[in-house]
Each structure stands twice: as C-alpha cells, then as structure tokens.
Amino acid sequence: MERWWFPAMLVVALMLPAAAKGLARHYKFSVVMKNTTKLCASKPIVTVNGKFPGPTLYAREDDTVLVQVVNHVSYNVTIHWHGVRQLRTCWSDGPAYITQCPIRPGQSYVYNFTLTGQRGTLLWHAHITWLRSTLHGAIVILPKRGVPYPFPKPSKEKIIILGEWWKADTELVISQSVQSGLPPNISDAHTINGHPGPFPSCSSQGYTLHVESGKTYLLRIVNAAVNDELFFKIAGHNLTVVEVDASYTKPFSIDTIFIAPGQTTNVLLAAHQSGGTYLMAISPFMDTIVGVDNLTATGIMQYSGTHVSTATVRASIPAINATSVEFSFINSLQSLNSKRYPANVPLAIDHSLLFTMSVGVNPCSTCVNGSKLVAALNNVSFVMPSTDILEAHYHKIRGVYTDNFPGNPPMTFNYTGTPPSNMQTMNGTRVYKLAYNSTVQIVLQGTSIIAPENHPTHLHGFNFFAVGKGLGNYDPNKDPKNFNLVDPVERNTIGVPTGGWTAIRFRADNPGVWFLHCHLEVHTTWGLKMVFIVEDGDGPSESLLPPPSDLPKC
Ligand SMILES: *[C@@H]1O[C@H](CO)[C@@H](O)[C@H](O)[C@H]1NC(C)=O
Ligand SMILES: *[C@@H]1O[C@H](CO)[C@@H](O)[C@H](O)[C@H]1NC(C)=O
Ligand SMILES: *[C@@H]1O[C@H](CO)[C@@H](O)[C@H](O)[C@H]1NC(C)=O
Ligand SMILES: *[C@@H]1O[C@H](CO)[C@@H](O)[C@H](O)[C@H]1NC(C)=O
Ligand SMILES: *[C@@H]1O[C@H](CO)[C@@H](O)[C@H](O)[C@H]1NC(C)=O
Ligand SMILES: *[C@@H]1O[C@H](CO)[C@@H](O)[C@H](O)[C@H]1NC(C)=O
Ligand SMILES: *[C@@H]1O[C@H](CO)[C@@H](O)[C@H](O)[C@H]1NC(C)=O
Ligand SMILES: *[C@@H]1O[C@H](CO)[C@@H](O)[C@H](O)[C@H]1NC(C)=O
Ligand SMILES: *[C@@H]1O[C@H](CO)[C@@H](O)[C@H](O)[C@H]1NC(C)=O
Ligand SMILES: *[C@@H]1O[C@H](CO)[C@@H](O)[C@H](O)[C@H]1NC(C)=O
Ligand SMILES: *[C@@H]1O[C@H](CO)[C@@H](O)[C@H](O)[C@H]1NC(C)=O
Ligand SMILES: *[C@@H]1O[C@H](CO)[C@@H](O)[C@H](O)[C@H]1NC(C)=O
Ligand SMILES: [Cu+2]
C-alpha cells in the first residue's frame, strides 16, 4: 500500500490550483431617493447609490461577491442577482417572501455568493413590488484570469441597459392597478442607459455610443424593462451574437436583436464604417391584442471625428407585431457546446411537467368592475405568503405553503383554441418538490385565455436548456422527436411564443427554494408564478448553507 501514498499526494497537489478561490469583492448598495429629470418632468425615484441605471457589479468567475444593501427609503426592498446560480446560497437570491423577508427602511442585509461556473453578463434588480423599474443594473462576470473569451478579443466593452419609464411613480401605478383590478397604466417611454431619446413635445438627449473606426466593441445588452419585450438595432451595422444569459453561443450575425425583460445578450459590434452617425433604436414587440407602450427610443452610434451635425443614417424599425423578426433571432440561438463549454443537456427525465400560462378574471367585491385580472400557471394564481418560503422550508414551519402544485393542467382543453368561457383561477401558495439531482422537463404552454401572449419565463437558481418550441398545443407524441438535445441554447429566461409552447430541461442540482415566474412584472403581480423546492442531497456539499445571521425578519 505504501507505494500509492506518494502518487496520491501528487494528485491532490495537482488538483489544488483548479480549486483555488477567487477574490472577495465588496460592494455597498445604498438605496436612496434621487430626483431625476426625464421627459421634461422631475420626480424622485428609488435608486442604488443615486444612480439610474444603478452601478455595475464587476467580478470574475470564482469570486465571492459581498453586497451590503442599506435601505434608506420608505419602501421595503430586496435585490435579486438575476441568473446567478446561488449554489447552496439560496438565502442570497432575493425574491421577497420566497427566499427572504424584505429589508425594511433603516435596515441592511449582506448578500454573499460565489460565482461558480458562470461568466458573461447578467443583471441585478429589486424583487419586490415594482421597484425594479428604477432599481437595476448590470452584472459583469469576467472569465477566470488568463482564460480568453471564445471569440476575438474586442477593443472595448460597453454596457447597454434598456429600461421602461413612467412619468408617474411606478409604486403608485401598480398599487392603483391592484386596488382597481384593472390593468396598470402603460409606460410613457423606453430608455437606453437611462436616456429616452427624442420624445414627443420634449427635447431629451438620447444615449450616444462613441466609437472609433476599425475597432470592435463588445456590447453587453441588458433588458431591464418592466413589461416590454424589445427589438434592438443599429443602422448600417450587423451584430454578432456571442452570449446570452451568461452562456456562450455559437456566433451568428444578425441586424436585429430580440430581448425580453430579464434577458441579457452580448454582441460584437465592428465599427467598420469610416465615420458618421448611425441610429440606435429599441422598439417594443407585441404580436397580440394587448395594450403596450409603442414608443421607440433612439440613440446614436457616433464615430470619432464626426461632426454632430452630420445627418444620422437611419434604420427601419421592426413593426410592433414583427413575429418573424423575433423568430429569426430566436431560431439562430445555439449553445457554443465546445469542449471547454459543453451543453450538458439532461437526456433522461425524472419529472415531465406541463404548465399552462394564462391570464384570467376573478371576482373582487372591492374592485372597479366587481372583478380583477389575475394570471396563473396550471390555473393556480400564486398567493404571496407573509413570511418567506425558504425559512419555512429550512425550519420546517407548517402553514406557509403546500406542496401540491399540479405538474399538469388540472383540466385539459384546446389551450390555443377557443378559450373556456369560465376564466376564473384557483389560488394558493403551492410548491413543487424535487429531489436533489433529479432531472426536469417543463413544457410551458401558452393559452388563449383572454388573449394569447408571449410570456418570458424566468427560473431562479438554474440555467436550463431550451430544447424545443412550437405553435399551437404541445404534442407529447410528436414534438419530442424534433427536440435539440445536442446544442440547445442555455439560458435563465425564455419567451413562450404567442399561442405556442417552449420546452426546457434542467438538473435540480442546487438545493433551495426557487421561483419560476413570468418576467413581465404585470403578470407576476397577477400571480403567474410558482416555486420549486429542491431538497438537500447527501452531505454538506449538496445541502443548503444555514441562514445568515443578518437575514431580515418578517
Ligand atoms: C426633489 O425635488 C423636490 C422639489 O422639486 C424637493 O422638494 C425634494 O426635496 C427633492 N428631493 C430630493 C431627495 O432631493
Ligand atoms: C459568506 O458566506 C460564507 C459561506 O459561504 C461564509 O463562510 C462567510 O463568512 C460569509 N461572509 C460574510 C461576510 O458574511
Ligand atoms: C393611470 O391612468 C389613469 C387614467 O388615465 C389616471 O387617472 C391615473 O391617475 C393614472 N395613474 C397614475 C399613477 O399615473
Ligand atoms: C448584414 O447581414 C445581412 C445578411 O447577412 C447582409 O445582407 C447585410 O448586407 C449586412 N449588413 C451590413 C451593414 O453589414
Ligand atoms: C401607439 O399607441 C397609441 C395608444 O396608446 C395610439 O394612439 C398610437 O396610434 C400608437 N402609435 C402607433 C405608431 O402605433
Ligand atoms: C401587424 O399589424 C399591422 C397593422 O395593424 C397589420 O396590418 C399586419 O397584418 C400585422 N402583421 C402581422 C404579421 O400580424
Ligand atoms: C368592466 O368590464 C367590462 C366587461 O368585462 C368591460 O367591458 C369594461 O371595460 C370594464 N370596465 C372598466 C372600467 O374597465
Ligand atoms: C384547437 O384550436 C385551433 C384554433 O381554433 C384549431 O386549429 C385546432 O384544430 C384545435 N385543435 C384541436 C385538437 O381541437
Ligand atoms: C380553474 O379553476 C377555477 C376555480 O376552481 C375553475 O372554475 C375553472 O374551471 C378552472 N379552469 C381551468 C382552465 O382549469
Ligand atoms: C383565493 O380564492 C378565494 C376563494 O376563491 C378568495 O376568497 C380569496 O380572496 C383568494 N385570495 C387571493 C389572495 O386572491
Ligand atoms: C447526478 O446524476 C447524474 C446522472 O444520473 C450522475 O452522473 C451524477 O453523478 C449525479 N450527481 C450527483 C452529485 O449526485
Ligand atoms: C415591510 O415588510 C414587513 C415584513 O413583511 C411588513 O410587515 C411591512 O408591512 C412591510 N412594509 C411595507 C411598507 O410594505
Ligand atoms: Cu407573462
């Protein structure tokens, strides 16, 4: 036996560098009110450190990030690190009443998580009521030191954050809607890095992207809008997509990006023109009969040495219902699936789930019409508990949730055909339990209840693979034959086509309480959300850490 001792030591020594820790990055987020002037009107907004959009959080893969959030405003606050996997650190995920109680006025909380196996662009945002309309910013995770991008190194990197702006206080907009039962007022403008661009009856300055001819830029594009899916384009320039949701893709060139709230897209922009100014535009996408803010926000891409007075090269803006433009982008997405960045798609499935997504109407005696708009997954409108589900799960507190979320629709019907006349939903704080390391397929099935609509759906705690999609009703006999199980795109937020379905797969290898919801905030408010509880596995490395001592109390 003796002779094995030495080689074994050697193996341990060789493994050490790979397991080396990254740096600890400390951030302080002071949540404060700040007066802002936009659309020719000044109003106080909730910000982090007085900035809109908020500060960018920079780190490298393997770094531990510590963000002390101090609440100086009169609202309850929580922050979510959208797309960060939070391995064993569910306590730092952020959705209010799901993984933590809110940070109350005057209180603070330290979010503490390690960036494992992820690199790219993500976003952080408030995860309580509608505060994320102004409380958001980018997360940039650089590859480990010495590890190059799997694409040509850009000369410079730029962050482009897309937002949605209301002249009114957004907390008032949503509280009025909840009280009346009617849809919330639509926004008044879209923004690029906080700038709405030329706006009717108000001369506001658009965002300017300064470039030098001959250089290549990596644009880290974040959709932080509240309810609007957006197209993004720059006149005279194609964009090479290299990453979405902090997962590398096979590069492809396209003239218009489609990006839903919560999604991120990295593109290479070659400044191949000799000079001039080129229009940059974001415009909304809505291919159904739902009211939406239809205003385009514009900025310019300006070459150095170009006179500001130079006529800007314009671009054609996609029609608001340009489903074909949406599809040509989505259909081009594939995982890079290289040796270094493989697509580990689960092939055997333990839980095969079908979730219908619908909007409905429930009685409400105090509402304007005696009824209120609601939304549901499998006909269950999720009811927020008054204490967080994670603590209830961890401390085995009864009465906070039930574990009977249905894995299939309680009633089968022609989901995308004539909707049932009864548009009521059930309600409850229902969760679906998963054993550690089990594999899950969810078919997210759109329905035509009230109207078919595109729902960008976000899963916390995991990346998933989008293995298939289609129009109409999912067919469990035919459709899986066309699934891409080799190099499907890997993401954390995915659109479910209007009047269609999307199939996603993931491995439940992260213990905790994980939210799944539509990332159109209006639908989340109405109940289009549910929770997965992933049980601990064997031993500490497969178990949730204990709660931090400063975890806020309800
Ligand atoms: C914002 O401006 C208003 C008047 O325009 C002023 O009363 C208020 O104190 C300001 N608030 C902050 C936080 O600066
Ligand atoms: C962060 O969490 C780790 C456990 O993952 C713990 O060891 C460390 O003490 C925490 N740091 C702070 C500042 O809370
Ligand atoms: C929403 O719109 C209604 C109708 O136009 C208006 O009366 C109300 O004041 C608006 N709410 C807010 C918060 O701006
Ligand atoms: C963008 O790509 C399309 C299709 O590949 C091509 O037809 C077009 O000329 C390109 N436009 C620019 C400005 O490079
Ligand atoms: C945008 O929507 C408004 C109503 O909200 C409508 O009056 C206007 O015609 C629309 N504009 C376009 C270009 O569709
Ligand atoms: C988009 O909307 C326009 C104007 O309402 C309509 O004429 C057109 O048919 C629509 N296109 C599609 C693809 O639905
Ligand atoms: C009340 O409901 C009816 C029928 O659903 C609808 O036509 C009407 O517009 C609603 N009233 C308001 C104020 O929204
Ligand atoms: C469902 O409804 C659609 C649209 O009306 C129709 O085309 C389709 O044939 C229906 N499917 C079934 C199975 O009835
Ligand atoms: C949803 O649940 C409500 C309340 O139980 C019921 O009336 C309705 O028929 C159900 N609808 C569907 C589509 O399952
Ligand atoms: C849940 O449904 C019950 C019965 O339909 C209703 O009385 C209650 O108000 C609903 N709760 C919520 C939060 O919508
Ligand atoms: C999870 O399951 C896969 C496939 O069944 C297996 O290869 C892997 O070792 C398991 N991982 C853990 C941590 O149990
Ligand atoms: C803040 O959260 C606490 C704990 O859930 C709750 O009791 C309180 O009512 C909330 N305050 C506001 C202003 O929403
Ligand atoms: Cu939705």
DSSP-assigned letters across all residues of 228-282: -EEEEEETTB-EEEEEETTEEEEEEEES-EEE-TT-EEEEEEE--SSS-EEEEEE
pLDDT tens per residue, range 222-243: 999 999 999 999 999 999 999 9
Q: Tell me the best of 35, 36, 75 to mutate to test the pocket of ligand 1, counting ligand atoms within 8 Å of each CB and taking the most.
A: 35
pLDDT tens sequence across 88-145: 999 999 999 999 999 999 999 999 999 999 999 999 999 999 999 999 999 999 999 9
Element containing residue 15 per DSSP (H, E): helix 2-15
53 versus 17: the higher-pLDDT residue is: 53
Residue 293 has pLDDT above 80, yes or no: yes
Q: Does 193 score more than 90 pLDDT? A: yes
Q: Is the pLDDT of residue 7 over 50?
A: no
Handedness of CA 505, 524, 125, 223 (dihedral sign): positive
Does residue 46 have a pLDDT over 50?
Answer: yes
Ligand in closest contact with the CA of 71: 12
Q: Hey, what are 409's tokens?
A: 């629709």
What atom in ligand 2 is closest to the CA of residue 66? 13
* pLDDT score of 10: 37
370 lines ligand 7 (CB under 6 A): no
Could you give the CA distance from residue 154 to residue 239 in angstroms, rounded to a whole number? 13
Residue 541, both tokens: 């490395």
Distance of CA 293 to the CA centre of its chain: 20
Condensed to tens digits (0 to 9), the pLDDT of residues 507-542 reads 999 999 999 999 999 999 999 999 999 999 999 999
Q: Tell the burial category of 411 from Cβ atoms under 10 Å away from its Cβ (0-12, 13-18, 19+).
A: exposed
- Give the C-alpha distances (Å, rounded to integers) separating 182 from 175, 196, 367: 11, 27, 8
Instruction: Tell me how many degrees the CA angle 480-483-488 measures, rounded to the nearest 5.
Output: 150
In ligand 3, the atom with minimum distance to the C-alpha of 184 is 1
> Using alpha carbons only, what angle is made at residue 27 by residues 23 and 33, rounded to the nearest 5 degrees?
165
Q: Residues with Cβ < 8 Å from 322, sequence gap 6 or more?
A: 231, 285, 287
pLDDT at position 56 is 98
What mean pLDDT value characterizes the chain? 94
The answer to whether the CB of 168 is under 6 A from ligand 3 is: yes
Q: Do the beta carbons of residue 21 and residue 62 sit within 8 Å? A: yes
Residue nearest to atom 11 of ligand 8 (CA): 414
What's the pLDDT band for 20 if we cut at 50, 70, 90? Answer: low
Distance 296 CA to ligand 3 centre (A): 22
Lowest-confidence segment of 133-147, 200-214, 249-263, 334-348 by average pLDDT: 200-214
Indicate whether residue 255 lines ligand 4 (CB < 6 A). yes
Question: What is the distance, to the nearest Å, from the Cα of residue 508 to the centroid of all Cα atoms in its chain?
Answer: 19
Contact partners, residue 280, CB within 8 Å, separation at least 6: 192, 206, 207, 209, 232, 233, 234, 235, 298, 299, 300, 301
pTM: 0.95
Query: Confidence class of residue 12 from pLDDT cuts 50, 70 and 90?
Result: very low
Specify whether the CB–CB gap between 239 and 254 falls below 8 A. yes
Give residue 198's pLDDT.
Answer: 81
Q: Whose CA is nearest to atom 1 of ligand 7?
A: 369
Residue 116, CA atoms < 13 Å, CB-side half-sphere: 15
pLDDT, tens digit (0-9, with 9 covering 90-100), for 136-184:
999 999 999 999 999 999 999 999 999 999 999 999 999 999 999 999 9
Percent above pLDDT 70 for the chain: 96
| DSSP code of residue 13 | H
Output the CA 46–ligand 5 centroid distance in Å.
Answer: 29
Q: Is the pLDDT of residue 15 over 50?
A: no
For residue 200, is pLDDT > 90?
Answer: no
| SS3 label, residue 342 | coil
Is the pLDDT confidence value at 330 over 70? yes
pLDDT above 50 (res 4)? no
DSSP string, 268-329: EEE--SSS-EEEEEEEEE--SS-------EEEEEEETT--TTSPEEP-PPPPTT-HHHHHHH
Which residue has its alpha carbon closest to ligand 7 atom 12? Answer: 369
Mean pLDDT to the nearest integer, 338-366: 97
Residue nearest to atom 1 of ligand 1 (CA): 35
Residue 386 main-chain phi, psi, to 5 deg: -100, 0
Mean pLDDT of 2-24: 47
Do 363 and 530 form a contact (C-beta atoms < 8 A)?
A: no
Q: Could you identify the atom of ligand 7 that is nearest to the CA of residue 369? A: 1
Among protein residues, the one whose CA lies closest to atom 4 of ligand 12 = 554
Q: Does residue 497 surpass a pLDDT of 60?
A: yes
Q: 18, exposed or middle or buried, with CB in 10 Å at 0-12, 13-18, 19+?
A: exposed
The reported pLDDT for the residue numbered 3 is 33
pLDDT for the residue 21: 76
**Partners of 458 in the β-ladder:** 493, 517
Residues belonging to the chain: 554
Of 282-291, 405-414, 471-480, minimum mean pLDDT range? 282-291
| Ligand with the closest atom to the CA of 291 | 5
The two structure tokens encoding residue 219: 């644009």
Residue 294 Cα to ligand 5 midpoint, Å, equals: 6
The kind and range of the H/E element at 359 are strand 351-363
Looking at the CA of 288, name the nearest ligand: 6
Q: How far is the CA of 102 from the centre of ligand 12 (A)?
A: 7
Q: Which domains does the chain have, with CATH numbers?
A: 3-142 (2.60.40.420), 156-330 (2.60.40.420), 351-542 (2.60.40.420)
Strands (E) located in 390-474: 426-428, 431-434, 439-446, 455-459, 464-471
